[in-house]
């Protein structure tokens, strides 16, 4: 019905009354439960990508290969693809930043390619690489978007791997610190949040225990899926993590001594956080659950908070896990201003008393647990990153509570959380919307319970080259047509839910339900479920109000003004 001649005030009163009636029928449940002012005023909503997954331009303007360039060209990705072009973020960053602005992102998390800034891993800077990241940072700031930068996201310069085996050598500590110093000097005046490494726990298990990632070093029983020609799974994962923690601490000290007072920024680290509750309430499974959490989370968190590895790890791994000197322990303890969480999955844990090693050891043998993705699933001995993992938002809440209770409630940013869909995913990605709403709700619950959670970043902003999967799976809020020469971008429903505003990130701009009348853009039914879609523009252009059939109605009301 057209009501364009009704005075604006009367229209708003009628609209608010109508919305309130709909709310009594269960409509707009997400809006009533999740409001922007439920989150702290400084809580940030954003999205992310990484350099090697989005930039492309692998041989452009002086960049030299990383270990992932060599790895993909050897055919190690499921679809045999490479990331030579990826989503061409190197050339399309202005278009992408404009999309971010249109969709209401408050922050964008991305990584810097070490081999684009320092092509040989050390020594002379690459002016073109510095120019690119300066331009990208400036473009973000000009659109009011905070840059959150990760220094390292898997892509070690190949020269350092060839020279001294990368993270297996203590030489990496000095080289990483010098690389960080370059980034702090060149970009630090505009960057308030620095993360040293992304997911070292996943990276070092996959690279040095199981052989999923380059440099594909592993040994029995670690290399049961990928056959490695070199490596020692019983010691190398622990050595690599040890050198990472020292690298992080060294770079963090450098920033705090030289930059923090001047730029008022923060430096933290990022981990992949599986939540690992016991599968049963048996004492053995509860002990195994804590052991799994120690191995997966405590491996890095305990040194950061307490200055040493968990006792369960030191007991089970023994002399194969390196020791910190007193000086190193003091350097690492308290070195992170915040913790970045990448969380996608919950696994259920059972003790594994029959774990026969035949004298061989690796990370999973040391952990000595069985893992299941559901409580009804048959447990296995290793986490398979290529396997199906169901959504479980409650795991994120429990994880945040654990960090509060066991590690003194450190500041936390959820750096990655997202939904993977097949290559042929429809643009109307309602499953992703439901997935993300669940995890945002879990985050809010944790905040209300006192956790120090500062922000949430969706993975990923655009579809990217995915680790191991290439272009066969999509995480993006924005669809990228990888068959199109121009790599056309098109926001999905999860990113463009009416007038260019993101459903997933709608809480970044909206206020209370009391002032919702000026922000309703679309109210419609999807199956038996009513969905509220809003506009960030402060005015209603179209409102569609459809009563769900489950409530006995079938009439669609359209209001124009």
- Residue 199 falls in the annotated catalytic set: yes
Place of tokens 């190690």: 76
Per-residue 3-state assignment (H helix, E strand, C coil) for 4-32: CCCCHHHHHHHHHHHHHHHHHCCCCHHHH
User: How deeply is 2 buried, as exposed, middle or buried, from its count of CB atoms within 10 A (0-12, 13-18, 19+)?
Assistant: exposed
Distances, alpha carbon 252 to alpha carbons 146, 337, 396, in Å: 20, 9, 27
Given the residues 161, 199, 236, 425, select the one marked as catalytic: 199
* Angle CA 483–486–489, to nearest 5: 85
Place of tokens 């945040």: 400
**Closest to 361 in 3D by CA, of 446, 215, 236, 261:** 236
- Cβ-contact 543, 522 below 8 angstroms: yes
- Establish how many alpha carbons lie within 13 A of residue 546's alpha carbon, considering only the half-sphere containing its beta carbon: 19
- What DSSP designation does 549 have? G
- Residue 131 falls in the annotated catalytic set: no
Range list of β-strands (E), 398-483: 412-416, 421-422, 453-459, 473-474, 478-480
Using DSSP's 3-state secondary structure scheme, residue 556 falls into strand
* H/E element, 108: strand 107-111
β-pair type (146-152, 473-474): unpaired
> What pairs with residue 369 in β-bridges?
351
Which residues does the annotation mark as catalytic?
A: 199, 416
């Amino acid at each position: 019905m057209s009501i364009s001649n009704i005075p604006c005030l009367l229209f708003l009163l009628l609209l608010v009354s109508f919305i309130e009636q709909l709310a009594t029928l269960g409509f707009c449940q997400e809006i009533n439960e999740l409001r922007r002012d439920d989150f702290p005023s400084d809580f940030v909503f954003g999205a992310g990508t990484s350099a090697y997954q989005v930039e492309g331009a692998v041989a452009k303007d002086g960049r030299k290969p990383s270990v992932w360039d060599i790895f993909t060209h050897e055919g190690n990705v499921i679809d045999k693809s490479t990331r030579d072009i990826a989503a061409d973020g190197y050339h399309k960053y202005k278009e992408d930043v404009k999309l971010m602005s249109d969709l209401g992102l408050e922050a964008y998390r991305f990584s810097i390619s070490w081999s684009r800034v320092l092509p040989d891993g050390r020594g002379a800077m690459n002016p073109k690489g510095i120019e690119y990241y300066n331009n990208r940072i400036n473009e973000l700031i000009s659109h009011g978007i905070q840059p959150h930068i990760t220094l390292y996201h898997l892509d070690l310069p190949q020269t350092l791997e060839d020279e001294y085996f990368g993270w297996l050598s203590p030489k990496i500590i000095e080289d990483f610190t010098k690389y960080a110093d370059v980034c702090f000097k060149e970009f630090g005046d505009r960057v308030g949040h620095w993360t040293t490494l992304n997911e070292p726990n996943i990276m070092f298990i996959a690279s040095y225990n199981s052989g999923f990632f380059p440099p594909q070093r592993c040994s029995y029983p670690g290399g049961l899926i990928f056959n490695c020609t070199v490596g020692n799974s019983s010691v190398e994962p622990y050595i690599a993590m040890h050198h990472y923690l020292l690298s992080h601490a060294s770079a963090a000290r450098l920033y705090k001594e030289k930059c923090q007072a001047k730029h008022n920024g923060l430096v933290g680290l990022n981990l992949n956080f599986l939540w690992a509750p016991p599968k049963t309430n048996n004492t053995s499974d509860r002990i195994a659950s804590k052991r799994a959490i120690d191995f997966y989370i405590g491996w890095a968190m305990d040194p950061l908070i307490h200055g040493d590895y968990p006792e369960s790890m030191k007991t089970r791994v023994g002399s194969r896990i390196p020791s910190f000197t007193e000086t190193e322990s003091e350097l690492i303890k308290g070195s992170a201003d915040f913790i970045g969480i990448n969380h996608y999955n919950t696994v259920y844990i059972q003790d594994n008393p029959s774990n026969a090693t035949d004298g061989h050891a690796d990370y999973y043998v040391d952990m000595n647990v069985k893992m299941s993705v559901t409580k009804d699933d048959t447990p296995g001995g290793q986490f398979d990153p290529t396997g199906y993992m169901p959504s479980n938002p409650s795991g994120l809440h429990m994880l945040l509570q654990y960090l509060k209770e066991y590690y003194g409630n450190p500041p936390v940013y959820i750096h990655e959380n997202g939904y993977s869909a097949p290559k042929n995913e429809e643009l109307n990605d309602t499953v992703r919307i439901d997935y993300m709403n669940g995890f945002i709700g879990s985050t809010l619950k944790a905040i209300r319970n006192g956790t120090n959670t500062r922000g949430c970043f969706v993975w990923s902003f655009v579809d990217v080259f995915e680790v191991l999967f290439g272009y066969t799976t999509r995480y993006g809020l924005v669809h990228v047509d990888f068959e199109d020469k121009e790599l056309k971008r098109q926001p999905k429903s999860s990113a463009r839910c009416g007038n260019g505003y993101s459903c997933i990130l709608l809480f970044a701009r909206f206020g209370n339900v009391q002032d919702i009348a000026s922000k309703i853009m679309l109210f419609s039914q999807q199956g038996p479920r009513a969905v509220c879609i809003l506009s960030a523009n402060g005015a209603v252009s179209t409102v569609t109000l459809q009563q769900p059939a489950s409530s006995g109605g079938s009439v669609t009301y359209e209001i124009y003004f």
